[in-house]
Protein backbone atom coordinates (compact mmCIF):
# COMPACT_ATOMS: atom_id res chain seq x y z
CA UNK A 1 0.00 0.00 0.00
CA UNK A 2 1.31 3.48 -0.87
CA UNK A 3 1.98 5.53 2.28
CA UNK A 4 0.13 8.86 2.64
CA UNK A 5 1.81 11.97 1.25
CA UNK A 6 1.20 14.00 4.42
CA UNK A 7 1.35 12.68 7.96
CA UNK A 8 -1.65 13.34 10.21
CA UNK A 9 -2.20 17.09 10.68
CA UNK A 10 0.60 18.13 8.34
CA UNK A 11 -1.58 19.05 5.36
CA UNK A 12 -3.49 21.48 7.59
CA UNK A 13 -0.25 23.22 8.58
CA UNK A 14 1.03 23.22 5.03
CA UNK A 15 -2.15 24.90 3.78
CA UNK A 16 -1.53 27.64 6.32
CA UNK A 17 1.99 28.12 4.97
CA UNK A 18 0.67 28.45 1.42
CA UNK A 19 -1.93 31.02 2.49
CA UNK A 20 0.82 32.95 4.30
CA UNK A 21 2.31 33.63 0.86
CA UNK A 22 -0.93 35.16 -0.47
CA UNK A 23 -4.71 34.67 -0.30
CA UNK A 24 -5.97 31.90 -2.59
CA UNK A 25 -9.18 30.17 -3.53
CA UNK A 26 -9.51 26.40 -3.29
CA UNK A 27 -8.44 25.55 -6.83
CA UNK A 28 -5.33 27.73 -6.48
CA UNK A 29 -4.35 25.81 -3.35
CA UNK A 30 -4.83 22.50 -5.17
CA UNK A 31 -2.72 23.80 -8.07
CA UNK A 32 -0.04 25.09 -5.69
CA UNK A 33 0.24 21.68 -4.06
CA UNK A 34 0.39 20.00 -7.47
CA UNK A 35 3.20 22.35 -8.50
CA UNK A 36 5.17 21.58 -5.33
CA UNK A 37 4.95 17.88 -6.22
CA UNK A 38 5.76 18.32 -9.90
CA UNK A 39 2.31 17.05 -10.83
CA UNK A 40 2.82 13.66 -9.13
CA UNK A 41 0.29 14.50 -6.39
CA UNK A 42 -2.95 16.42 -6.95
CA UNK A 43 -5.22 16.52 -3.88
CA UNK A 44 -8.96 16.36 -4.43
CA UNK A 45 -11.42 19.05 -3.49
CA UNK A 46 -12.78 16.61 -0.91
CA UNK A 47 -9.35 16.64 0.74
CA UNK A 48 -8.77 20.40 0.71
CA UNK A 49 -12.10 22.05 1.51
CA UNK A 50 -12.88 20.21 4.77
CA UNK A 51 -9.46 21.24 6.10
CA UNK A 52 -10.03 24.83 5.04
CA UNK A 53 -13.37 24.71 6.87
CA UNK A 54 -11.66 23.48 10.03
CA UNK A 55 -9.00 26.18 9.77
CA UNK A 56 -11.79 28.76 9.52
CA UNK A 57 -13.56 27.29 12.56
CA UNK A 58 -10.30 27.56 14.52
CA UNK A 59 -9.93 31.22 13.52
CA UNK A 60 -6.75 30.60 11.54
CA UNK A 61 -8.14 31.63 8.13
CA UNK A 62 -10.98 33.77 6.85
CA UNK A 63 -12.93 33.41 3.63
CA UNK A 64 -14.44 36.04 1.38
CA UNK A 65 -16.51 35.71 -1.77
CA UNK A 66 -14.92 37.05 -4.93
CA UNK A 67 -17.55 36.68 -7.60
CA UNK A 68 -18.16 32.94 -7.97
CA UNK A 69 -15.03 32.04 -6.01
CA UNK A 70 -14.29 31.90 -2.31
CA UNK A 71 -10.87 33.30 -1.40
CA UNK A 72 -9.14 32.16 1.79
CA UNK A 73 -6.67 34.35 3.72
CA UNK A 74 -4.56 33.62 6.77
CA UNK A 75 -5.35 35.49 10.00
CA UNK A 76 -3.03 36.85 12.65
CA UNK A 77 -3.73 33.74 14.72
CA UNK A 78 -2.79 31.62 11.73
CA UNK A 79 0.53 33.41 11.34
CA UNK A 80 1.18 33.01 15.06
CA UNK A 81 0.64 29.25 14.78
CA UNK A 82 2.99 29.10 11.80
CA UNK A 83 5.67 30.94 13.77
CA UNK A 84 5.17 28.67 16.78
CA UNK A 85 5.41 25.52 14.64
CA UNK A 86 8.22 26.71 12.35
CA UNK A 87 10.51 23.76 13.11
CA UNK A 88 7.66 21.34 12.43
CA UNK A 89 7.03 23.03 9.07
CA UNK A 90 10.70 22.55 8.14
CA UNK A 91 10.30 18.84 8.89
CA UNK A 92 7.24 18.75 6.64
CA UNK A 93 9.30 20.27 3.80
CA UNK A 94 11.86 17.47 4.23
CA UNK A 95 9.07 14.88 4.19
CA UNK A 96 7.70 16.45 1.02
CA UNK A 97 11.07 16.03 -0.71
CA UNK A 98 11.01 12.32 0.17
CA UNK A 99 7.38 12.03 -0.98
CA UNK A 100 8.15 13.69 -4.31
CA UNK A 101 11.01 11.25 -4.95
CA UNK A 102 8.83 8.29 -3.96
CA UNK A 103 5.93 9.37 -6.16
CA UNK A 104 8.30 10.05 -9.06
CA UNK A 105 9.69 6.51 -8.71
CA UNK A 106 6.18 5.07 -8.67
CA UNK A 107 5.28 7.02 -11.82
CA UNK A 108 8.52 5.88 -13.46
CA UNK A 109 7.83 2.22 -12.63
CA UNK A 110 4.25 2.58 -13.88
CA UNK A 111 5.46 4.04 -17.17
CA UNK A 112 8.11 1.31 -17.51
CA UNK A 113 5.49 -1.38 -16.94
CA UNK A 114 3.21 0.22 -19.52
CA UNK A 115 6.07 0.37 -22.02
CA UNK A 116 6.91 -3.31 -21.41
CA UNK A 117 3.28 -4.25 -22.02
CA UNK A 118 3.19 -2.13 -25.17
CA UNK A 119 6.39 -3.71 -26.48
CA UNK A 120 5.03 -7.19 -25.76
CA UNK A 121 1.77 -6.36 -27.58
CA UNK A 122 3.67 -4.98 -30.56
CA UNK A 123 5.95 -8.02 -30.64
CA UNK A 124 2.94 -10.34 -30.52
CA UNK A 125 1.27 -8.42 -33.35
CA UNK A 126 4.45 -8.60 -35.40
CA UNK A 127 4.70 -12.35 -34.79
CA UNK A 128 1.09 -12.80 -35.86
CA UNK A 129 1.73 -10.80 -39.03
CA UNK A 130 4.82 -12.87 -39.85
CA UNK A 131 2.95 -16.08 -39.13
CA UNK A 132 0.07 -15.04 -41.41
CA UNK A 133 2.54 -14.16 -44.16
CA UNK A 134 4.31 -17.51 -43.79
CA UNK A 135 1.01 -19.40 -43.87
CA UNK A 136 0.01 -17.56 -47.03
CA UNK A 137 3.40 -18.36 -48.56
CA UNK A 138 3.04 -22.03 -47.70
CA UNK A 139 -0.41 -22.19 -49.25
CA UNK A 140 0.92 -20.50 -52.36
CA UNK A 141 3.85 -22.93 -52.56
CA UNK A 142 1.48 -25.86 -52.10
CA UNK A 143 -0.66 -24.60 -54.96
CA UNK A 144 2.47 -24.15 -57.07
CA UNK A 145 3.64 -27.70 -56.34
CA UNK A 146 0.32 -29.09 -57.41
CA UNK A 147 0.17 -26.97 -60.55
CA UNK A 148 3.77 -27.12 -61.79
CA UNK A 149 5.27 -30.32 -60.42
CA UNK A 150 2.36 -32.68 -60.34
CA UNK A 151 3.02 -35.85 -58.34
CA UNK A 152 6.84 -36.08 -58.60
CA UNK A 153 7.71 -37.54 -55.15
CA UNK A 154 11.23 -36.09 -55.03
CA UNK A 155 10.02 -32.56 -55.65
CA UNK A 156 7.18 -33.03 -53.18
CA UNK A 157 9.67 -34.25 -50.55
CA UNK A 158 11.97 -31.25 -51.04
CA UNK A 159 9.06 -28.84 -50.74
CA UNK A 160 7.78 -30.65 -47.64
CA UNK A 161 11.27 -30.36 -46.10
CA UNK A 162 11.27 -26.62 -46.76
CA UNK A 163 7.89 -26.28 -45.05
CA UNK A 164 9.06 -28.38 -42.09
CA UNK A 165 12.19 -26.25 -41.65
CA UNK A 166 10.11 -23.08 -41.86
CA UNK A 167 7.77 -24.42 -39.16
CA UNK A 168 10.74 -25.29 -36.91
CA UNK A 169 12.28 -21.84 -37.34
CA UNK A 170 8.91 -20.20 -36.70
CA UNK A 171 8.49 -22.18 -33.47
CA UNK A 172 12.03 -21.34 -32.35
CA UNK A 173 11.66 -17.61 -32.99
CA UNK A 174 8.30 -17.29 -31.25
CA UNK A 175 9.36 -19.32 -28.21
CA UNK A 176 12.63 -17.40 -27.96
CA UNK A 177 10.73 -14.10 -28.04
CA UNK A 178 8.35 -15.31 -25.29
CA UNK A 179 11.26 -16.42 -23.11
CA UNK A 180 13.07 -13.13 -23.52
CA UNK A 181 9.90 -11.26 -22.56
CA UNK A 182 9.76 -13.28 -19.32
CA UNK A 183 13.41 -12.49 -18.58
CA UNK A 184 12.75 -8.78 -19.26
CA UNK A 185 10.03 -8.91 -16.58
CA UNK A 186 12.62 -10.28 -14.15
CA UNK A 187 11.72 -13.95 -13.91
CA UNK A 188 11.94 -17.26 -15.73
CA UNK A 189 10.96 -20.32 -13.69
CA UNK A 190 13.12 -23.43 -13.93
CA UNK A 191 9.90 -25.42 -14.36
CA UNK A 192 9.41 -23.69 -17.72
CA UNK A 193 12.89 -24.71 -18.83
CA UNK A 194 12.22 -28.31 -17.77
CA UNK A 195 8.87 -28.26 -19.59
CA UNK A 196 10.57 -27.10 -22.79
CA UNK A 197 13.37 -29.66 -22.52
CA UNK A 198 11.10 -32.59 -21.74
CA UNK A 199 8.48 -31.56 -24.30
CA UNK A 200 10.99 -31.18 -27.12
CA UNK A 201 12.64 -34.49 -26.26
CA UNK A 202 9.29 -36.29 -26.34
CA UNK A 203 8.31 -34.57 -29.59
CA UNK A 204 11.61 -35.48 -31.24
CA UNK A 205 11.16 -39.12 -30.27
CA UNK A 206 7.63 -39.15 -31.63
CA UNK A 207 8.70 -37.58 -34.92
CA UNK A 208 11.71 -39.91 -35.26
CA UNK A 209 9.46 -42.93 -34.69
CA UNK A 210 7.03 -41.64 -37.34
CA UNK A 211 9.89 -41.15 -39.83
CA UNK A 212 11.13 -44.71 -39.30
CA UNK A 213 7.74 -46.35 -39.58
pLDDT tens for 32-41 read 888 877 776 7
Q: What is the DSSP letter of 187?
A: -
pTM assigned to the model: 0.44
Q: Which whole-number Å values give the CA distances from 207 to 164, 175, 210, in the listed order? A: 12, 19, 5
pLDDT at residue 103 is higher than 70: no
Domain ranges of the chain: 10-108
Mean pLDDT of the chain: 76
- At how many degrees (to 10) do helices 86-144 and 153-184 cross? 180
Count of other CB atoms within 10 angstroms of residue 171: 11
Burial class of 186 by CB neighbour count within 10 A (0 to 12, 13 to 18, 19+) = exposed
Helix (H) or strand (E) holding 9: none
Domain 10-108 classification at class level: mainly alpha
Q: For the segment 162-176, what is each residue's pLDDT rounded down to a tens digit?
A: 777 777 877 777 777
Residue 131, pLDDT score = 63
pLDDT at residue 198 is higher than 70: yes
Q: For the segment 27-80, what is each residue's pLDDT rounded down to a tens digit?
A: 999 998 888 777 767 888 888 999 999 999 999 999 998 788 899 999 999 999
CA 102, 105, 109, 114 torsion-angle sign: positive
Residue 87, pLDDT score = 79
Q: d(Cα 63, Cα 210) in Å, to the nearest integer?
A: 88
Q: d(Cα 99, Cα 103) in Å, to the nearest integer?
A: 6
**Higher confidence at residue 6 or residue 56?**
56
**Higher confidence at residue 10 or residue 154?**
10
Amino acid sequence: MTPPVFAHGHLRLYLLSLLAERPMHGYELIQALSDRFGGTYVPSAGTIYPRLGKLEEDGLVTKESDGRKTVYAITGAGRAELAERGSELEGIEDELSDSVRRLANEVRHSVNDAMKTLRADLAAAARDARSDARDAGRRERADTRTTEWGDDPRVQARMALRDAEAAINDFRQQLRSDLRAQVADGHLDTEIVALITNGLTALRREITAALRS
